[in-house]
């Protein structure tokens, strides 16, 4: 495969043993490869970030010869090991991560972009060989950008999005600021050395972490080779990330090399649901860069311990059966394994119904159990029925309705009311008799009378008394 500015030719043999690093460094000290333009080193600012390492029976701390490096847990961004993580350094083709970020944000995958007619600076640059005016989908351009690191793919995306490289670079720097990449500056979308084109190990893993959340990006950088069909002719491209080809657990992300930057690799690896992201900047050679990335990964994974909070077949819920007595145990469909660092909290969250209706087949999915680590989902498995159950019969429904507490309360109330009515009829008046009307005694306030009225009333009472006496009656 041809080499060019932004990435150097890689050897056919992967070297992993640290003992070879000294020889590799000596080999890197020779003159640059033909066609690679000499460039200035970016400003080196910022101090060394203190490693934040987790406890546990970990392996030996990494001994990395690169100028700066970092390793983080992709789940929570925890820094597992680092050196000079905030140091501003040239990053070569790792620049293309921001080019990809804007392309994914501004273009649809199937959108066709017209090739802008790129003029390479050096004969050894990596190119797709795009003809000016040729149309290729954004998806295929991203494959060409990220796997072989083609400079004409980067140029075409930049011009297609912004109209010119200069305008695109402005958008790159604006995006870097919005993402909080404080130690990052871009001068071109390719990664050619320039004093104003630099970043830090910390910023690179932050950007890669965000990009890996995009499914298309994650799929592309985890692809060893692909055939691009949307241009004038099919093109076969191969990833320059040798670790992606050699190590099953490696799933990205981006290589880079220029004279000013040395050898750069932003890596990603996953084991047992734990994903780590690394950045190695300024390594003396490609074998050294790859070996140091693997050493970082091995160290990082050694900090984790595997636990099995849920075994296959564990009963985790027992919803009631509708209209029937009893419940239906729900069991874990699979074993759930998680890897955690010392001090992390593992919790189990169960989602299951309170009641099961209708017929159920054994093994039918009725819920889910999720394992969280420090509150973040880490792994899950379905909850399935432990046995089959037929739907409730009409008799089941009738019996359940009768025995329902609410139904019993209503029936009890009806019985009480009927009993009271019967009792009232037994103690009522005899047949044919009308109930006596209730006499009401009305209390009246005494009327205020005048002296003449009182005298007259007295005279009337005396007269009635005399009349009774004259008739022989008593007083």
Q: Which of 8, 54, 82, 93 is catalytic?
A: 93
Q: Which of 96, 185, 200, 285 is catalytic?
A: 96
Whether 149 is a known active-site residue: answer yes
HEC profile of the chain: CCCECEECCCCCCCCCCHHHHHHHHHHHCCCCCCCCCCCCCCCCCCCCCCCCCCCCCCCCCCCCCCCEEEEEECCCCCEEEEECCCCCECCHHHHHHHHHHHHHHHCCCCCEEECCCCCCCCCCCCCCCCCCCCEEEHHHHHHHHHCCCCHHHHHHHHHHHHCCHHHHHHHHHHHHHHCCCCCCECCCCCCCCCCCCEECHHHHHHHHHHHCCCHHHHHHHCCCEEEECCCCCCEEEECCCHHHHHCCCEEEEEEEEECCCEEEEEEEEEECCEEEEEEEEEECCHHHHHHHHHHHHHHHHHCCEEEEEECCCCEEECCEECCCCCECCEEECCCEEEEECCCCCEEEEEECCCEECCCECCCCEEEEEEEEECCEEEEEEEEEECCCECCCCHHHHHHHHHCCHHHHHHHHHHHHHHHHHHHHHHCCCCCCCCCCCCCCCCCCCCCCCCHHHHHHHHHHHHHHHHHHHHCCCCC
Q: Which of 82, 149, 185, 285 is catalytic?
A: 149
Whether 93 is a known active-site residue: answer yes
Whether 96 is a known active-site residue: answer yes
**Hey, which residues are catalytic here?**
93, 96, 149
């Amino acid at each position: 495969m041809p080499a060019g500015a932004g990435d150097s030719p890689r050897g056919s043999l992967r070297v992993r043993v640290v003992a070879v690093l000294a020889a590799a460094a000596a080999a890197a000290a020779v003159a640059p490869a033909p066609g690679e333009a000499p460039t200035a080193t970016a400003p080196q600012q910022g101090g060394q970030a203190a490693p934040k390492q987790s406890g546990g029976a970990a392996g030996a701390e990494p001994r990395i010869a690169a100028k700066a490096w970092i390793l983080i847990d992709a789940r929570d961004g925890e820094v597992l090991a680092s050196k000079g993580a905030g140091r501003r350094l040239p990053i070569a083709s790792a620049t293309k991560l921001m080019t990809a970020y804007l392309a994914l944000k501004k273009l649809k995958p199937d959108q066709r972009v017209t090739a802008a007619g790129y003029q390479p600076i050096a004969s050894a640059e990596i190119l797709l060989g795009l003809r000016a005016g040729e149309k290729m989908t954004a998806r295929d351009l991203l494959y060409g950008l990220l796997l072989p690191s083609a400079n004409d793919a980067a140029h075409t995306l930049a011009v297609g999005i912004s109209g010119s490289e200069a305008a695109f670079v402005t958008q790159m720097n604006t995006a870097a600021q919005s993402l909080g990449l404080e130690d990052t500056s871009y001068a071109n979308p390719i990664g050619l050395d320039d004093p104003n084109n630099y970043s830090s190990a910390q910023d690179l893993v932050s950007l890669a972490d965000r990009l890996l959340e995009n499914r298309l990006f994650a799929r592309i950088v985890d692809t060893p080779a692909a055939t691009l069909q949307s241009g004038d002719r099919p093109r076969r491209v191969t990833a320059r990330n040798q670790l992606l080809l050699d190590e099953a657990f490696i799933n990205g992300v981006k290589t880079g090399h220029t004279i000013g930057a040395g050898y750069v690799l932003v890596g990603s690896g996953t084991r047992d649901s734990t994903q780590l992201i690394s950045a190695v900047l300024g390594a003396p050679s490609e074998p050294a860069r790859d070996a140091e990335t693997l050493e970082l990964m091995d160290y990082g994974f050694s900090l984790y311990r595997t636990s099995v909070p849920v075994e296959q077949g564990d009963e985790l819920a027992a919803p009631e059966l509708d209209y029937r007595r009893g419940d239906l145990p729900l069991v874990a469909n699979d074993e759930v394994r998680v890897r955690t660092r010392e001090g992390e909290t593992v919790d189990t969250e169960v989602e299951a119904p309170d009641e099961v209706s209708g017929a159920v087949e054994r093994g039918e999915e009725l819920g889910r159990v999720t394992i969280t680590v420090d509150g973040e989902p880490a792994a899950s498995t379905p909850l399935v029925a432990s046995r089959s159950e037929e739907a409730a019969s009409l008799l089941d429904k009738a019996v359940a309705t009768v025995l329902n507490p609410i139904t019993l309360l209503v029936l009890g109330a009806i019985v009480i009311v009927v009993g009271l009515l019967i009792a009232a009829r037994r103690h009522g008046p005899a047949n044919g008799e009308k109930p006596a009307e209730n006499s009401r005694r009305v209390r009246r306030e005494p009327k205020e009378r005048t002296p003449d009225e009182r005298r007259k009333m007295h005279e009337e009472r005396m007269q009635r008394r005399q009349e009774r006496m004259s008739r022989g009656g008593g007083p």
